Structure 1
Amino acid sequence: MLRRMNGPVTLRDVALAAKVSVSTASRALTGAGLTSRGTEQRLQRIAAELGYRPNTLARGLKTRSSKLVGLVVHNLTNASFRVLAEVVGERLRAAGYQMLLCVTSDEPERERETIATLTDQRVDGLIICPTGRNGAQLAMLERGNTPVVCVVRQDPAAEAETVLAADPEGAYAGTRYLLELGHRRIGLIVGRQETTSGRERLSGYRRALEEAGLPFLAELVHAGPYVPETGLAGCAALLDRPHRPTALFVANHESTLGVLRGVAERGIAVPDGLSLLCYEDMPGLAWQRPAISVVDSGAVAMAELAADRLLQRLGGGAGAALRRGQEYRVGARLIRRQSCSPHTEA
């Protein structure tokens, strides 16, 4: 049994312990061939006992591949981002890559710094939910042959392939569902309008109202950042008015927790006093009493498709060519539970 060294263990240390040349140790530990299976296994055992870890940056300079891929999201409050991290991480690991997970809090400056850091780390590719403010920086990565896939949101300046939910259709289906239940005053809590999802969910809501012959009332819409506090503020803006909505559509996922708190603090019974429909499913919503109805945006399918496109481009085989500006859509799905009930106008 070899003793672990106190300082960093180098490839030369492993070679000396195994009584082989540095080049033989390198080939055995990287699986580059030209060494027997027995030699590879012995070198791997010695390296593990010594605590040797390869210098991925140095190896990347030689092979032009770091085997690192960045995943950049806004937060881990959003259930879709957690699913994205889990699915993409597993897909990359199975393909021999390691994922670097970065959180930007939806702040353009933090995103800019994060992209620069990942570039310095020579990541082989990037999957990102963009803020929409650093598209030129992402386009530079693409022009430098680092594949970029945007997910959840689009940034036209990035010139990248983008995987999106069918948000216009999802918001339309959710609003139609509430209209079919007899609701005519439907409040909407939605994301920032400079984001793809914020704009598209509002457009789906408006289209459903227009088709039903109802006017769009700005007083029934509260837009804000993707944080729980937006849900609390939305409750104050929409539920504390004399003629409040009979149904509330929370199309800003992070705001769902704030809305659940705001509704409970006001003692409003769901669904008897207010029908409640949320966007993007998460396990806790099915466990609520009553269980919360949702429009699910298909996070697993988006994650799988984003990983597919990135790995195809990294692999260099069929389908590897950049489809500049190509947009892929994953269908949204209405899940009816117990938080919405029919309404009859008095």
Structure 2
Amino acid sequence: MGDSPTIRDVAVAADVAIGTVSRVLNGHKSVSDDVRRRVLKAIKKLNYEPDRVAQSMRLGVTRTVAFATRDISIPGFGAIVNAAEEALRNSGYTLLLTMTDEQKDRELNLLRIFQQRRVDAVIMTISNENDAELTKQIKGFDIPIVLLDRESPPQLDAVTLDHRRGVRAATEYLHGLGHTRIALLTGKPSTRPAHERIAGFKEASARLGRQASHGIVRTGGFSAEFGFRETSSLLSGPNRPTAIIAGGMAMLAGVLKAIRTRGLSIPGDVSVIAGADSDLAALATPAITAVRWSGTDEGRMAVQLLLNRLGNRTAPVQRVMLSTELITRESCAPPPK
């Protein structure tokens, strides 16, 4: 017998047919407990490692799930990915992680790669929910997809966040302090997080009887660079906002940098609320009021929806929205006189 035992060696050691060893490896219930014990004992004794590639080809599964997110360097995404990886590992799957950089061509290419790699399922965000080509490609994908904080195409399972409630609470809180000129910075409205934040912002103003013109909405990105550029522009104008809501997971750093570059203080000159809580928000001086949700719950729920779909391809579409809450800290005060 050579250094690398084969399935035939296991069959000889256990005194069974090769097909019986294969059935034990693949978890078939047709094998008796006594035979299963003999085969497993032989596998352990010989230190046999089954050929996973060959198994995948026979069974049509790879026990691999692809996770495509826009930027893993953002701490909030790290929590989501960590939770998803742990849940998948506990269910016998391996996570394949990749980044999209919010580029449509990259997303389209990754979908083709996922099919070629024969992954069992995909968890992903997409850059533009209104893009016809991207939507068509996703709808034609023959592998289950769970959308992460996206709602289109509506035929797919999705876990989303209640951004509307979070920004509505933030806006009402600022109005309660006396602010009437509030700026919301967020991503392109073609993505769910952005248009839900905008909807919450407008709903809060309408409920409080404020004129829509008192609110300022700047859209275009979720990045720190976008936050810095738009905050700098707003603060250089003659009628600058007295409060800013940074509606993006990575945006807060850019907003804070712009405020301090202009020599302004928080909250003396301008109040700030982060649309996504983070270590930066909690540890900044002053600590930043923020909208919070659980990235861990988001990652775990995405995996649960995925496992449900793998277990029943024809079940109704699953949609789960996770709650958000406003965490008040030290970055908000009444507007300056």
Q: TM-score, normalised by structure 2?
A: 0.86
Structure 1 segment 153-164 matched on structure 2, within 5 A = 153-156=150-153, 159-164=155-160
Q: Using the TM superposition, give the Cα deviation of residue 127 of structure 1 relative to its aligned residue in structure 2, in angstroms.
A: 1.4
Q: Does 1:150 align with 2:147?
A: yes
Give the SS at the match of 2:252: helix
Q: Which amino acid aligns with 2:149?
A: V
Give the SS at the match of 2:258: helix
Return the alpha-carbon distance in structure 2 between the equivalents of residues 47 and 27 of structure 1. 18
Q: Using the TM superposition, give the Cα deviation of residue 216 of structure 1 relative to its aligned residue in structure 2, in angstroms.
A: 2.5
The answer to whether the 8 A contact 1:167-1:200 is kept is yes
Q: Which amino acid aligns with 1:150?
A: L
The answer to whether the 8 A contact 2:147-2:157 is kept is yes
Q: Deviations over 1:281-321 (max 9, x none)?
A: 122321112111101243333223222211112234xxx64
Q: Deviations over 1:78-130 (max 9, x none)?
A: 33321221111111111111111121011111011111111112121111112
Q: Which amino acid aligns with 1:341?
A: A
Structure 1 segment 102-181 matched on structure 2, within 5 A = 102-131=98-127, 132=129, 133=131, 134-141=134-141, 144=142, 146-156=143-153, 159-181=155-177
Pick aligned residue for 1:323 from 295, 312, 316: 316
Pick aligned residue for 1:253 from 229, 249, 254: 249
Q: Does 1:337 align with 2:329?
A: yes
The answer to whether the 8 A contact 2:298-2:322 is kept is yes
Q: Does 1:269 align with 2:265?
A: yes
Q: TM-score, normalised by structure 1?
A: 0.84
Pick aligned residue for 1:293 from 289, 292, 295: 289
Q: Deviations over 1:174-231 (max 9, x none)?
A: 1111111111111111111111111111111112122223223398322122221101
- Rate the CA distance shift 1:176–1:77 in 2: closer, same or farther, 3 A: farther
Structure 1 segment 1-346 matched on structure 2, within 5 A = 12=6, 26=22, 35-37=35-37, 39-44=39-44, 46-47=46-47, 54-56=51-53, 58-131=54-127, 132=129, 133=131, 134-141=134-141, 144=142, 146-156=143-153, 159-217=155-213, 220-316=216-312, 321-324=314-317, 326-343=318-335, 346=337
Q: Using the TM superposition, give the Cα deviation of residue 40 of structure 1 relative to its aligned residue in structure 2, in angstroms.
A: 2.4
The answer to whether the 8 A contact 1:298-1:333 is kept is no
Aligned twin of 1:6: none
Return the alpha-carbon distance in structure 1 between the equivalents of residues 47 and 288 of structure 2. 52
The answer to whether the 8 A contact 1:28-1:43 is kept is no
The answer to whether the 8 A contact 2:181-2:242 is kept is yes
The answer to whether the 8 A contact 2:189-2:219 is kept is yes
Q: Deviations over 1:38-77 (max 9, x none)?
A: 64255346447xxx57333x32221122111111111113
Return the alpha-carbon distance in structure 1 between the equivalents of residues 211 and 307 of structure 2. 46
Give the SS at the match of 1:253: coil
Return the alpha-carbon distance in structure 1 between the equivalents of residues 214 and 194 of structure 2. 15
The answer to whether the 8 A contact 1:279-1:297 is kept is no
Kindly tell me the number of residue pairs found equivalent between the two proteins: 325
The answer to whether the 8 A contact 2:179-2:243 is kept is yes
Gaps (5+ residues) in structure 1? Answer: 4-8
- Rate the CA distance shift 1:233–1:218 in 2: closer, same or farther, 3 A: farther
Give the SS at the match of 2:172: helix
| RMSD between aligned residues | 2.7
Return the alpha-carbon distance in structure 1 between the equivalents of residues 50 and 46 of structure 2. 12
Give the SS at the match of 2:250: helix
Q: Using the TM superposition, give the Cα deviation of residue 248 of structure 1 relative to its aligned residue in structure 2, in angstroms.
A: 0.8
Q: Using the TM superposition, give the Cα deviation of residue 17 of structure 1 relative to its aligned residue in structure 2, in angstroms.
A: 9.3
The answer to whether the 8 A contact 2:10-2:43 is kept is no
Q: Which amino acid aligns with 2:40?
A: E
Return the alpha-carbon distance in structure 2 between the equivalents of residues 258 and 266 of structure 1. 13
